């Protein structure tokens, strides 16, 4: 039965995404919801995993006293017990409001083989046995919680088991004699098994499952400098139709983590439970990521002429910029330019019903690349725009469409005299609207494949964009290796 405790978390954790310590009670950045439909599927898959696992375990020995007529009381021992075959027909995994989960297994049977010994002061008997246990029913309630480190906790709050019938066939020294009293042996075997089942489950939860949960990491590396904190911010919530797990969802700098000034918003999730799983991702996740990558300088860029497609009409040369800066080509004839862009503050993503958008503001410094390999600053611009997007999902990929906002260009400084920022702004808007965005949208229309989670495939995906968060629903298929 230790396999029961091990098989259950592996299925649930695969479906629920599982988990720097923080105080519990903050708003979550991520929420994973598994519905009664998802729990039913998890129970089916867990039953298959448990059935395979049971065939690999060895049951503990047990002993007791047995009264044999005309012989007296003897001491029996059943040892070397192995499950030869098992058939687990029905299982159910249901949420228990305010507590956690209820797991039940019914209409199941197990065939066990092993060795037996009977000792009496003046003799010793031994042989092999074959026991068939039918009509096994088990029910256990799991109380789910969390601790201050953000890791989940689990305890078996109640357990009951029942066995409809036990048949024992014994062979060996005088095994025929013991078979005459098989009712007494079977009754003892049944009582022992019924008491041992819950005892083993309670022990497995406390000695195997709970210690395993304490080893779960609450942070995960994303790349060389960023990580994600997915510690629990409160106890998992169970209602009559679903189980929800709330994660912090903060992206942080691995080398020097510091308090985040942003607050995760309150997410009012739709009361949907038609699909197996749902995931809510707030703007807090994306915006804490933006803070980290901005601090690391990932949003800065540098562009030179050799990076521009050969067929482009716009070149990064002093000659090409003559319409905007007439003196530039005269002072620096036939020379290349380099544009260095920086983002003064991290851009923050905004979610509104059906739409996501971001306001972008950057400063661009232009340099002339001199023959001496040095750089001469010539002008500085500020560029501001807004980009919004619509995203859609299907079974295998994500597609989308970008809606451009107007680009606004402002001259901050010029070392080469008059600069026609209005003309550059008009040219940029024309180029972006007619060339750049169509290329992006063609690529987005083709779509990007969704990542395949380990052993799990999502299908029937549906995406909703609400104020402050994305809400993704999906059904799940477990991929057997």
**pLDDT tens column, 358-417:** 898 989 999 999 998 899 999 999 999 998 888 776 666 677 788 888 889 999 999 999
* pTM of the predicted structure, to 2 decimals: 0.77
Q: Does 23 or 404 have the greater pLDDT score?
A: 404
Residue located via tokens 């298959």: 48
**CATH 3.15.20.10 region(s) of the chain?**
219-335+343-360+383-478
Strands 408-414 and 375-393: antiparallel
Phi-psi region of 159 (alpha: psi -120 to 50; beta: other; left: phi over 0): beta
Homologous superfamily of 56-214 = Bactericidal permeability-increasing protein; domain 1 (3.15.10.10)
Q: Is the dihedral of CA 21, 25, 30, 31 positive or negative?
A: positive
Burial class of 130 by CB neighbour count within 10 A (0 to 12, 13 to 18, 19+): middle
CA of 159: how far to CAs of 49, 51, 273, in Å? 21, 20, 28
pLDDT per residue over 187-235, tens digit each?
777 877 777 788 888 888 888 888 888 888 888 888 888 888 889 999 9
Cα–Cα distance, 115 to 101 (Å, whole number): 37
pLDDT exceeding 90 applies to what percent of the chain? 25
**CATH 3.15.10.10 region(s) of the chain?**
56-214
> Which residue from 255, 260, 323, 256 is spatially nearest to 287, judged by alpha carbons?
260
pLDDT per residue over 239-295, tens digit each?
999 999 999 988 888 888 888 888 899 999 998 889 999 999 999 988 998 898 888
> Which residue from 139, 173, 132 is spatially nearest to 156, judged by alpha carbons?
139
pLDDT at 234: 92
* Domain 219-335+343-360+383-478 annotated CATH 3.15.20.10: yes
Q: For residues 441-468, give the mean pLDDT.
A: 75
Burial class of 413 by CB neighbour count within 10 A (0 to 12, 13 to 18, 19+): exposed
pLDDT per residue over 306-342, tens digit each?
888 888 777 889 999 999 999 999 999 989 999 998 9
Q: How many CB atoms neighbour CB 114 within 10 A?
A: 18
């Amino acid at each position: 039965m230790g396999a029961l405790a091990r098989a259950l978390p592996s299925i649930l954790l695969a479906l629920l995404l599982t988990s720097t310590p923080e105080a519990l009670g903050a708003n979550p950045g991520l929420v994973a919801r598994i519905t009664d439909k998802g729990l039913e599927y998890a129970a089916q898959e867990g039953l298959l995993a448990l059935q395979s696992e049971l065939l690999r375990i060895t049951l503990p020995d047990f002993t007791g006293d047995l009264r044999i007529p005309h012989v007296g009381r003897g001491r029996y021992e059943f040892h070397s017990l192995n499950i030869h075959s098992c058939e687990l027909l029905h299982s159910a995994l249901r949420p228990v409001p305010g507590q956690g989960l209820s797991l039940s297994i019914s209409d199941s049977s197990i065939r066990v083989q092993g060795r037996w010994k009977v000792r009496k002061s003046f003799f010793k008997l031994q042989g092999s046995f074959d026991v068939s246990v039918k009509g096994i029913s088990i029910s256990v309630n799991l109380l789910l919680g969390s601790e201050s480190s953000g890791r989940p906790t689990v305890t078996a709050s109640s357990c009951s088991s029942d066995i409809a019938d036990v048949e024992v066939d014994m062979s060996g020294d005088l095994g025929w004699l013991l078979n005459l009293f098989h009712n007494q042996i079977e009754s003892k075997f049944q009582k022992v098994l019924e008491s041992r089942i819950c005892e083993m489950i309670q022990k497995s939860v406390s000695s195997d499952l709970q210690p395993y949960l304490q080893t779960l990491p609450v942070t995960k590396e994303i790349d060389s400098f960023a990580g994600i904190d997915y510690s629990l911010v409160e106890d998992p919530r169970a209602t009559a139709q679903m189980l929800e797990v709330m994660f912090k969802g903060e992206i942080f700098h691995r080398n020097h983590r510091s308090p985040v000034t942003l607050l995760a918003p309150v997410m009012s999730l739709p009361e949907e439970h038609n699909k197996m799983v749902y995931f809510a991702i707030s703007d807090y996740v994306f915006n804490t990521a933006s803070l980290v990558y901005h601090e690391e300088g990932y949003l800065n860029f540098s562009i030179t002429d050799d990076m521009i497609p050969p067929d482009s009409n716009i070149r990064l040369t002093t000659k090409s910029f003559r319409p905007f800066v007439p003196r530039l080509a005269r002072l620096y004839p036939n020379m290349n330019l380099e544009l260095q862009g920086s983002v003064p503050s991290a851009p923050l993503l905004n979610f509104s019903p059906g739409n996501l958008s971001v306001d972008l503001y950057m400063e661009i410094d232009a340099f002339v690349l001199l023959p001496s390999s040095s750089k001469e600053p010539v002008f500085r611009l500020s560029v501001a725009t807004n980009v919004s997007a619509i995203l859609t999902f299907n079974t295998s990929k994500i597609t989308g469409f970008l809606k451009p906002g107007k680009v606004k260009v402002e001259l901050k400084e010029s070392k080469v005299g008059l600069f026609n920022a209005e003309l550059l702004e008009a040219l940029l808007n024309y180029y972006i609207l007619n060339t750049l965005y169509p290329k992006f949208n063609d690529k987005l229309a083709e779509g990007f494949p969704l990542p395949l989670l380990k052993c799990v495939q999502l299908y029937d995906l549906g995406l909703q964009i609400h104020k402050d968060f994305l809400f993704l629903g999906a059904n799940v298929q477990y991929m057997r290796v």
